[in-house]
Structure 1
Amino acid sequence: MRIHTGERLYKCEECGKAFKLSGYLKTHMRIHTGERPYKCEDCGYACNQSSALKTHMKIHSGERLYTCEECGYACDHSSTFKRHMRKHTGERLYKCGVCGKAFKHSHTLKIQRRMHSGETVQM
């Protein structure tokens, strides 16, 4: 029922963050303790959540969950795939508030802002 009511009984004494389930607090505490119980047997990478290890293992398996139907590009992260798809759609999410120019990538907008402020731009 706590999931439905939003009640959070388990509170972190380090930072004050509260959780609905004790297991969530236990996982959270690994941030403070530095515990990394999940370890990759292939390369030694260690992390504090099993989901992070599962994602990491895709590096070794070569698994590619996202494939572009237009060009065949394949990758293992949804964020990488979304960024790739902007090449086909022409979508430009990052707009300069000064000149109104729009860019596909946030780093390009940062360069544009530096140009407006007179900062030296390094490429």
Structure 2
Amino acid sequence: PECGKTFAQRSALAKHRKTHSGDRPHRCGDCGKSFSRGSNLTQHRRIHTGERPFACGDCGKGFIQRSDLERHQRVH
């Protein structure tokens, strides 16, 4: 099934197609959740490890994702 999204780069399209294929070879050993991309598993693992590599320079609060830190920084 085509969703209609277009991409400037063939590699981006290939990456996106994985979201539709159902192929999720990267599995979390703690909870069993599976991911199509290894980078998504790496990010997910932080839930279990408590790792929060993105810290706010103003208050020190840590975040799993850079985008969460960036959203938080707008409150300062």
TM-score when scaled to structure 2? 0.72
Q: 1:62 to 1:100 in 2, by over 3 A?
A: same
Q: Which has the higher contact order (CA 8 A, sep 6+)?
A: 2
Which structure 2 residues correspond to residues 1-123 of structure 1 after superposition, within 5 A?
A: 42-43=1-2, 47=7, 48-49=9-10, 51-116=11-76
> Cα distance, 1:82 vs. partner?
1.3
- Per mean C-alpha deviation after superposition, the further-off stretch among 91-100 and 103-112 is 103-112
Q: Which has the larger radius of gyration?
A: 1
Q: 1:71 to 1:98 in 2, by over 3 A?
A: same
Match of 1:68, as an amino acid? C
Match of 1:92, as an amino acid? R
Query: What are the ranges of 5 or more consecutive residues in structure 2 without an aligned counterpart?
Result: none
- Aligned-residue sequence identity (percent) comes to 41
Q: 1:112 to 1:65 in 2, by over 3 A?
A: same
How many pairs were matched up? 74
CA distance in 2 between partners of 1:96 and 1:63 (Å): 36
Match of 1:98, as an amino acid? D
Alpha-carbon RMSD? 2.2
> Cα distance, 1:93 vs. partner?
1.0
> Cα distance, 1:46 vs. partner?
5.2
